[in-house]
Chains A and B, each alone.
Chain A
Amino acid sequence: MGITELEKRKILYKDTLLCYQCAKCSSGCPLVEEMDMYPHVVIHLASLGLERSVMNSETIWICASCYACAVKCPNDIEIPNIMNRLKQMALDEGFEPKRKDVYKFHKVFTDDILRRGKVHELRIMIEYNLRLGKLLKNATLAPKMLFKNKLHFIPPKAVKGFRKWVKKTS
């Protein structure tokens, strides 16, 4: 583990240590019934240094980053940010994302931005289905949106100097 990994873990422990397990995050979470681990348990395990047991959970991927928990937390723990950090650590350490359907969307979306600096919504929907191997997913949604001209076949114009910027910063 490189120093940056260690740094990342230190930040994770520091941010989660304030939690006193009131479970307001779990009680206010709109997605809790879809999760395999309660959000307050995620925070608890992370604060104990047992984050590896969390990286394999569906919870970190099901979290929609709605911040209902963060607003309710009496200790101002930004729980969605911690969920994100756990996702990134899981990917860095080679964990298979437990919810590939969610992960692949994020990946397709991110890759698309890096192409031209703006999102091409139709391409994302097509590429997502291809990478997921489910060609008929959202099969009724896309035609409806195309019909109203809400999805465009032609991608947006690339942002001036964006590719150069990507090369420079990465």
Chain B
Amino acid sequence: MSTVFITDGDRPLGTALRESFTNAGFDVAVHPANGDAKSLAAAISSAGPVELLINNAEPEFDRLAFEEIDENIFVNMMTGVARTAFFAVQAVHPIMQTLGGGKIINVSSSAPVCGMTGGAHFTAAKGSLYSFTRSWANELATDNIRVNLVAADVTTGTAAEDGGGETPLGRPVTIEDVVETITYLAGSGGDMISGQEIIVDGGFTRVGF
């Protein structure tokens, strides 16, 4: 039985991913997001044969004017997203090498593509995932590790207050929509896709930019 490892598996998307992959017959291990490289490495090393890592860690955050983001808030966001993802991949790499390959999916946002007033800390942190995705896809390809990014612009659930709701496609983006995209990449359809980004936004990104 192969294992799916999800960082920040207790937030709504993480919970939905955990349920979905459990129902599909995988062992699922989750870990909170705190950027602590050692505890993350220990959790991943003891999780079993991890063939899919989903970097879903994302601290809660408030929209703040740039001048109001203090150093702690900024560093906490960078740590919770970028540092957590980086050291999760470092820990899972030798496991996937032993298995003969694996897949990594980084969960990001469209904000680093479109910009986001009041979200400089969030956008910087999520922006790192775009470049990590491309770099790791290149570096880890020889180990048969596929690395992709899914931008989860969920407009229902916890993010619903965030101005979400209708999309150009006529309905909100749900957590289930994002789970389906991740499931596709995790399946055989994603076997020859690496270093790519899919923005699940109901078409928003292509409106007016």
Do A and B bind? no
